[in-house]
Structure 1
Amino acid sequence: MALQAREKEILILDAPIQPNDEDYALMALQAREAELFYYSIYLKPDSCALAQHRDKPPVKTITLPNGGFKLLTCEELLSGQSPLNEWLIHGMIEKGNLGLIFGNPSSGKSLYVQDMCFCIAAGLMFHGLETATGNVVYIAGEGFSGLRKRFSVLAKKYEVPPPNNLHISEMPAAIVDQKSIESVRNAIDQVGKVALIVIDTLHRNFGDGDENSARDISQLLSNIDTYLKTTGATVLIIHHSGHESKGRGRGSSSIRAAMDVEYSVKKEGDTVTVENTKVKDFDPPSPMSFKLKSIELNKDVGGVVLEPTEQIPSKQKGSTSSDIENTILAVLANAPSDQFVHATDACVVSGKIPARALKADYVKTETYSKMDNPTKEAKRKAFQRAIERLVETQKIGSGDNCYWLPPSP
């Protein structure tokens, strides 16, 4: 059986006349290995692609060892992508993250995410934070009548035309439903490469299921992984706060457990505050605070946007990434002479061997003493990321349990 990509669809060559589940499993594997469009493996026998090849003999299907389960060596894993953070919004959301934005009704959570979507699609800074420009898909489950006005207001606020790469659904999805999520993926594939997919809200786009049921949430997350995450896009879910616990999203705890990043949105008066409540692979950013500002579209129609209460810097709680990198460089440059050791032949950076190096434990201890991150674990993670960035950019060398500065030219 062979598969061939052609303009966002897969032609199945030498296909079986009556494909069974095992055939489709093999198609899935081949499509995945060829990095083709995943949704197309669900082609049915009466599809155009199969109909063109009904005269072909059936193929012999195989049962893959371990059900296709595969192990990578650490070297293979690290060669796949850079260990550095790849940001959708710098310091806030990474590319490929699965995230949750939750808050009470009318707290401003949709307003906040719509602003985010507009900036990413239009290639604008998001309240002082750099964004990665790309296609955005907004799966709207409610508030259709107000979306036109909200995005018109954002276009006026930023003084740019409405971005053509911001795509908004005309109806809600039912993500736990197989046919519905396949249809959603089909529509997304027509867009092309997507940077961000937003589900607003989880409840309105859930389908026939119970968000308090771990089983239904498992199906929801499975469909998100299979059909949305495989696009390579960041997926953000807008959700309501819990009925009793306002500090978490409503429903099964499985929802929060599955998230890479999570933010709460709270409104007091006309002030909206966005605060990080979970993060996995970077330092939690500082809270952002906004005021609601009215913008008039014409004499009778207007809307509101979020305006920061102060200039929002790209800043982390505790020491920032650049602070830590500068501290490490200062420790390496200014350590007492009795702390240096003779550099070995393994100590190479920029093709040169330095005269001396510092033991890694000394650099770590000195740097930790100058960091104000709240916990030891936060310091450890922040220090390690700073070291990785400095080595990646060849500002320092690392090896033999030592760190060193490159020798002078």
Structure 2
Amino acid sequence: MAIEPVVGLSENQLEEILQALDPSMPYPEWINVGMALHHETEAEGFHLWDEWSSQADNYPGSEELLHHWTSFGNNKGAPVTARLLLKLAKESGVHVDPDIASASEFECIKEEDDSADARFAVVDAENFADCSPTPWLIKGVLPKADLGVVFGESGSGKSFFVSDMALSLARGKSWRGHKVRPSRVVYLAAEGSSGFRKRLKAYELHHTISLAGVPFGVIPVAPNFLMKVDALDVAKAIIAWGGADLVVIDTFAQVTPGANENAGEDVGKALAHFRGLNRALGAMVLLVHHSGKDTSKGARGWSGLRAAADMELEVIRTESGRATRVTKQKDGDDHGEFGFELEVVPLGLDEDADIITSCVVVEAGVPADLNGSVKTNSARETSGKWTSVVTSVVREFGLAQSAGIEVEAVIAECLARTEVPAGKRDTRKQHIRRALKALCTGDDAPYFEENGCLEIL
């Protein structure tokens, strides 16, 4: 059975909650309060339960309480946690947030010694002004800053572009003629780790190198950066690996499951944990993110994300090619543009003797229509709800990263994203198959279907 983590309440917060609760409450509830305190304090908070209980008329004494206390934690069932305490406090009109310091915690500062956290040491203006300019990971493109964002539509090639930069850094090789600072890189492949494995192999083959010994590490699972325990565990894992200068998180959506990307509360919580990674590791955190529905308005979601970023790159796919442009550079030129294309690399054969492929980034000229009115992939898309849904799913499955995408998997995902109109027959599969057929029909079709899979032309 998985160990239930503690909520993270301070002793002052626990005392605040207990003050709002009646110690003469019914016996079962009183026992549950004790069990919750036992779990949250990891058996170190007996004094809290005892002092609170002593205010009740039916207080049985410390010895009786200690007998109960020592039995807590031996139950094989799910433990009672501090979430119960938060619920009871809320019912009593007291709201305690484990991530918000209480007033008493601030008041206690005056009574503590003069030692302070070195992270927040106050620096005299004269010394602060006498500092070196911001160092670069990739000169003029990727600063050695706190937080960066690379965004683009699905299918634009943003993940390929970012991994190409990151691998150049890890190899200590110049990128597009720009000097690089040899760096340790951790790539959190939260979206499509199997495709990322193929991408690394394609990179090796294309550049005729081996990645053995290259300080480039991969985390192939998706943590939840809305949860404190996951954020801390990621930091610990990277430190155990030897640390990093750059941490790439691909993608932002995959590590913030269920978050409202338009809400500052949810995004702000994730940003706080990204900042925590930066403080713990001294590494820049680079987020790979999606464009919004209106691509002219930048990255998807809360505008505060862009404000928090030290730099921002937009990856664009037009009719004539792909490019990345600098849209924000806090300490540098924000007008850079870099054209590129994706070149297919055969990796071998699968068990059915079909060719397995992936792609690598190759340098190309900046598309002539980059700053024009052409919208990414617009010529390949027709209007209509089903075409939009199907096209979006096919893109997100990362077609360019593998030998093909199973048609049935696409259909299943499209069904999961749509609903049957009330009172009407379910004809969704017919609409989906029709839209899939349109993507594979005609001289200008971007895909073809073979053996139940979509393949890119």
**Shorter-chain TM-score tier:** 0.5 to 0.7
Change beyond 3 A, Cα 1:46–1:270:
farther
Change beyond 3 A, Cα 1:245–1:64:
farther
The aligned residue for residue 327 of structure 1 is none
Are 1:308 and 2:363 an aligned pair? yes
Q: Is the 8 A contact 1:247 1:264 kept in 2?
A: no
Are 1:265 and 2:315 an aligned pair? yes
Change beyond 3 A, Cα 1:302–1:46:
farther
Change beyond 3 A, Cα 1:308–1:226:
same
The aligned residue for residue 136 of structure 2 is 87
The aligned residue for residue 237 of structure 2 is 187
CA distance in 2, matches of 1:308, 1:46: 60
SS in 1 for 2:315: strand
Change beyond 3 A, Cα 1:220–1:20:
closer
CA distance in 2, matches of 1:283, 1:206: 31
Are 1:153 and 2:202 an aligned pair? yes
Moved >4 Å (runs of 4+): 19-22, 44-47, 64-70
CA distance in 2, matches of 1:245, 1:270: 18
Pick from 69, 72, 78 the counterpart of residue 123 of structure 2: 72
Change beyond 3 A, Cα 1:46–1:122:
farther
Note the 1:244-283 alignment, pairs <5 A. 244-269=294-319, 271-283=321-333
Note the 1:338-357 alignment, pairs <5 A. none
SS in 2 for 1:257: helix
SS in 2 for 1:263: strand
Normalising to structure 1: TM-score of the pair? 0.58
Deviations 1:50-108 (A, max 9, x none): xxxxxxxxxx99536798664321233245x52x2311001101112411000001110
Change beyond 3 A, Cα 1:133–1:146:
same
Note the 1:3-402 alignment, pairs <5 A. 62-63=111-112, 70-78=121-129, 81-82=131-132, 84-163=133-212, 164-269=214-319, 271-298=321-348, 300-310=355-365
Change beyond 3 A, Cα 1:160–1:229:
farther
The aligned residue for residue 82 of structure 2 is none
> Which has the greater radius of gyration?
2
CA distance in 1, matches of 2:267, 2:237: 23
CA distance in 1, matches of 2:256, 2:305: 13
Shift of 1:208: 4.2
CA distance in 1, matches of 2:320, 2:167: 22
SS in 1 for 2:254: coil
CA distance in 1, matches of 2:244, 2:233: 16
CA distance in 2, matches of 1:67, 1:190: 27
CA distance in 1, matches of 2:204, 2:43: 45
Q: Structure 1: where are the runs of 5+ without partners?
A: 1-18, 23-43, 48-59, 312-409
CA distance in 2, matches of 1:133, 1:65: 40
More helix by share: 2
Q: Is the 8 A contact 1:101 1:239 kept in 2?
A: yes
CA distance in 1, matches of 2:288, 2:341: 20
SS in 1 for 2:255: coil
Aligned residue pairs total 260
CA distance in 1, matches of 2:134, 2:146: 11
Q: Is the 8 A contact 1:270 1:291 kept in 2?
A: no
Normalising to structure 2: TM-score of the pair? 0.52
SS in 2 for 1:204: helix
SS in 1 for 2:165: helix
Q: Structure 2: where are the runs of 5+ without partners?
A: 1-8, 13-40, 45-107, 350-354, 367-457
CA distance in 2, matches of 1:21, 1:194: 34
Q: Is the 8 A contact 2:277 2:283 kept in 1?
A: no
CA distance in 1, matches of 2:318, 2:299: 19
CA distance in 2, matches of 1:94, 1:169: 23
Change beyond 3 A, Cα 1:46–1:95:
farther
Shift of 1:287: 0.4
The letter for the 2-side match of 1:266 is I
SS in 2 for 1:301: strand
CA distance in 1, matches of 2:269, 2:356: 42
CA distance in 1, matches of 2:365, 2:11: 57
The letter for the 1-side match of 2:151 is F
Q: Is the 8 A contact 2:146 2:275 kept in 1?
A: no
Change beyond 3 A, Cα 1:278–1:21:
farther
Superposed CA RMSD in Å reads 3.0
Shift of 1:207: 3.4
Change beyond 3 A, Cα 1:184–1:72:
same
Deviations 1:244-289 (A, max 9, x none): 2444110111111101100100112472110111111112242000
SS in 1 for 2:280: helix
More strand by share: 1
Change beyond 3 A, Cα 1:222–1:156:
same
Q: Is the 8 A contact 1:213 1:252 kept in 2?
A: yes
Change beyond 3 A, Cα 1:64–1:213:
farther
SS in 1 for 2:245: strand
